[in-house]
Amino acid sequence: MKFTAEQIAAALNGVVEGDLKAEVSTLSKIEEGKPGSLSFLANPVYTHYIYSTKADIVIVNEDFKPEKPIVPTLIRVKDAYSAFTSLLEMYQQTKNNKKGISEKATIAGSATLGENVYIGDFVVVGENTVIGNNTKIYANTSIGDRCKIGNNTILYYGVKIYDECIIGNQCTLHAGVAIGQDGFGFAPQSDGHYKKIPQIGNVIIEDNVEIGANTTIDRATLGSTIIRKGVKLDNLIQIAHNVEIGENTVIAAQTGIAGSTKIGKNCMIGGQVGIVGHLTIANGVKIQAQSGIAKSIKKPDSVWEGSPAFHLPDFLRSYVHFKNFDHIVERIRRLEEKH
């Protein structure tokens, strides 16, 4: 599908400088621009590319002042980066605008499907499960019995959702996500073996949550594991049974959260963080990558680092001594030799 500079400018509330009828059918980075593509310039570091790019249309800030002639048609907007992001969203929506139900899908007779859904090849939908309007379910996804999937949600290839789990509206689950498998609950017995504790709860994922590829969220032993609205989870994260993650918290890849820990809203957790079970993390807390959290963090908006982690200002002061520890030991040894 092709769009003219005039059409794009209208969508972005921008002003065309150049050929109103210039057409594009794809997007590109400015340094890799090619004929028929649309690009943008927001970072001054890339300014020199605008004089050599082959892109036919470039979105720029309204105050951009070229130092020499430019071949592409320009669209001037208030914020080029935000405008291009909006175009990417539109492009993504167009690309994902799939509808219809594959003949290769298996859908229980008691399941309820909303309007304008897409269900791909080899999808399985269980008994009494409800799928919302405009939801897209890609190939090889399996949804268990008595689940509820909201409106405008996307489940990409190979997502697995166990029985009785709830996914909200406008959620995105990427390939290989597993929701609602048993929590890691085993009771040690007197003869040394472990007896499995039945996990009879579920997982609740609220609205506007995005979950990266191969992330796993265990069902609760009792009650629910809960991911609150607006949470963003990276790839390869493990969330254990009965965990609760507060609104708009973001967590980077390879983080693991043990059972029954409660994380507040608007937290930022770096990659490869480990959090032990039954803790409480206050609102707005930031945890640096590769930190190990072994106790509750009660101070809101605080920053933590290290393993075991402690308050960042204390960590930075201590780190000065960590680096000099071998010299300190040597000084102590010499003092001991004098005595």
Q: Which positions are annotated as active-site residues?
A: 241
Q: Rounded distance, CA 337 to CA 290, Å?
A: 39
Scored b (16 or more CB within 10 A) or e, 120-141 reads beebbbbeebebbebbbbbebb
Q: Which two tokens stand for residue 179?
A: 């929701």
Measured on CA atoms in the order 110, 112, 118, 123, is the torsion positive or negative?
negative
* CB-based contacts of 312-316 (< 8 A; 24+ apart in sequence): 312/288
Which 8-state DSSP code applies to residue 220?
A: P
Q: Is-contact 33 55, C-beta < 8 A?
A: yes
Q: How many CA atoms lie within 13 A of 115 on its CB side?
A: 0
